Amino acid sequence: MTDKTEHSEKMQKLLDLIAELSDLSHISAVLGWDQYVNIPPGGVEERGTQSAALGRILHEKFTTDEVGQLIADLEEEVGDLTAETDEARAVKVIKKQYEKQTKVPLPLIMESIKATTVANNAWVEAKTKSDFSIFEPHLEKIVDLRKQYADLFKPFDHIYDPLLDDYEPGMKTADVKEIFDALRPQQVALLQEIAEKEPPDNGFIKQNFKEEYQKIIGRYVITRFGYDWNRGRLDVAPHPFTTEFGLGDVRITTRYLEDDGVSALFSTMHEAGHAMYGQGVAEKYKRHPLSGAASLAIHESQSRLWENIIGRSKEFWSFFYPSMQMLFPEYLTDISLTDFYRGINRVEPSYIRVEADEATYNLHIMLRLEIEIGLMEGTIEVADLPEIWNTRMEEYLGITPPDDAQGVLQDIHWSGGMIGYFPTYALGNLASVQLWDKMLEENPNVPDEIARGEFDTILGWMREHVHQYGSKYEPQEIMIKATGSKITPEPYVQYLRDKYGEIYSL
């Protein structure tokens, strides 16, 4: 923890307050983790009340006039909030959080927490039964609450801006649209070229790999990556996620499918990427205003890098494939490394976003962005979502989901009120390649290291250029410092063209 003698009295008062709020926030996160992993159905309603009570305490402690005055005094004391010091950036981050939270009335916060807690349980039931009508009234409530929230931040360029800013600070709806508009035609063109080629076989993956062995390979892989088990654990949840209870406790979950032998492995690698970011924040930021991540896109850049750029690479599987063959000989003994590599990278429009290949994944995100914007603008009604979803899946990917579970109900995010979150997935894809390219430029031997099952150079580079800073810098600042450029689609498109050009002989 930072030495108290290093700060002015007022700065120390702010740091002490944030440390206490951090503790309470992490207690709330424990309740959330337990809700997704362990809670019996009968406990959901009371859990909503418990979470709302903590939310009320957090809000009331943070949004007092005294805290506002303290922030104002510190802004004057520090001067330039864009200076490189931790103090300046801490005040900058807290000032923005305070300005946002003081605009939100406590009753809206309480209602939102209760609504999303109950909605999550309804989503699980609706998905299990593949019946959107079970979730529909809950989503209508959530959309209404999100509109109320966004309206508090008028004037804005677009009603979606305040929601996006919660996950991607400084990013506007127009910025995302510009990036996606440049990306979409290039990805569609690539897909059209790939569609004309014979796809590699991946039938050997679509088997019932023993769950206990899937767990073994998943834990083995992320251990070699550098996931710290002394500060984390792996559990099962309906939808994989990562959560943090502090720098010393960053947990991940995954799910195991009966008809896909590698899905759990890739989701485990994905969540480990998130978790290693959380574990890599500088120790001095424990219980500190800068302890969080720069943004969700930067978070996604880490998960997608470990899952895809590394986890779906030839070098990675040249090391790990013998272990897979040993664990699952009945399916993989007669499958060569080359055929396995091509099979796991098969481009194939799919119903489920988290199972999507790299060449189609961003189209899933663009579809969701359009729907979320429509919901917020009022041009799309919740009741029409299943039909709209299926129509746009046909337009984007040429397939129509057979049921709600594989369509509009597949993602957990809306049940948690996380409208504005989805664009960060695609932005994270773009950022992952930019960071990878720069890391490779400085460390050209990394592919050989991966082929030996060594990942220290990669994790060390990410620690130095991304992880350690926590939320000290905004996402575009992180990207400029690390790579020299803001998030841009060109490197990602080139990465896809190079990779799939080889696999499909384009």
pTM flag (> 0.75): yes
Domain spans, the chain:
4-102, 173-503
Contact 482, 438 (CB under 8 A): yes
pLDDT for res 3: 44
Contact 430, 487 (CB under 8 A): yes
Digit-coded pLDDT (tens) for 34-68 = 998 999 989 988 998 999 899 999 999 999 999 99
Name, in order, each residue with C-beta under 8 angstroms of 30's C-beta and a sequence gap of 6 or more.
245
Query: Can you read off the two tokens belonging to residue 252?
Result: 């991940």
For residue 4, pLDDT beyond 80: no
Name, in order, each residue with C-beta under 8 angstroms of 102's C-beta and a sequence gap of 6 or more.
63, 68
Distance CA 92, CA 78 (A): 10
pLDDT for res 76: 93
Helix (H) or strand (E) holding 435: helix 423-442
Of the candidate CATH numbers 2.60.40, 1.10.1040, 1.20.58, 3.30.420, the domain formed by 4-102 belongs to 1.20.58
| 86-101 and 9-37 helices, crossing angle to 10° | 60
Buried b (16+ CB within 10 A) or exposed e, 20-33: ebbeebbebbeebb
Digit-coded pLDDT (tens) for 115-148 = 998 999 899 999 999 999 999 999 999 999 999 9
Q: Quick one: CA torsion of 228, 244, 280, 362, rounded to 10 degrees?
A: 100
β strands within 148-304, DSSP E:
234-236, 242-244, 250-254
Digit-coded pLDDT (tens) for 322-376 = 999 999 999 999 999 999 999 999 999 999 998 889 999 999 999 999 999 999 9
List beta partners, residue 236. 254
Told to judge if 348 belongs to the known catalytic residues of this protein, a careful annotator would answer: no
Chain centroid to Cα 334, Å, comes to 36
Q: Is 202 helix (H, G, I), strand (E, B) or coil?
A: coil
Digit-coded pLDDT (tens) for 414-425 = 999 999 999 999
From first CA to last CA, the distance across the chain in angstroms is 54
The 10 Å Cβ neighbour count of residue 481 is 12
Distance CA 471, CA 278 (A): 11
Distance CA 81, CA 89 (A): 6
Helix (H) or strand (E) holding 81: none
Digit-coded pLDDT (tens) for 475-484 = 999 999 999 9
Q: What is the DSSP letter of 378?
A: T
Q: What is the DSSP letter of 334?
A: T
Chain centroid to Cα 379, Å, comes to 27
Which of 271, 300, 307, 358 is an active site residue?
Answer: 271
Digit-coded pLDDT (tens) for 99-108 = 999 999 989 9
Distance CA 487, CA 59 (A): 33
Contact 424, 297 (CB under 8 A): yes
For residue 111, pLDDT beyond 70: yes
Q: Topology of domain 173-503, per CATH?
A: Neurolysin; domain 3 (1.10.1370)
Provide mean pLDDT across the span 163-175. Answer: 93
Query: Can you read off the two tokens belonging to residue 474?
Result: 């905004």
Helix (H) or strand (E) holding 407: none
Contact 311, 267 (CB under 8 A): no
Helix (H) or strand (E) holding 466: none
